[in-house]
Amino acid sequence: DIYEDVLILNSTAQWRKGITLVQKAKYEEVNTYFDNDDAGELATKNFSYAFGGKHFPHNGRYPTYKDLNAYLIGSSSKKFLC
């Protein structure tokens, strides 16, 4: 079995707190699904800076949607490839 932890930030303004929590846990890989807006772009850049090659942003998988939730609701395919 493969288990993954999930950290949900109620606001991208909490990216600093998210980075701190993830750094303490020392994960091998950090996947993010931030919004496709200015705040999401800033959070993505900061996570990339903090985690380098361990950071894998996935918001490029839903470029025409504001966020992952809008994609999942509006997509004709309910399947999201991780």
> What does the pLDDT look like over 35-79, one tens digit per residue?
999 999 999 999 999 999 999 999 999 999 999 999 988 876 656
* Predicted confidence (pLDDT) at residue 81 exceeds the cutoff of 60: no
Kindly report the pTM of this predicted structure.
Answer: 0.84
The single residue listed with the structure tokens 């090659």 is: 53
pLDDT at res. 11: 86
- Hey, is 31 helix, strand or coil? strand
DSSP state for residue 25 in the 8-state scheme: H
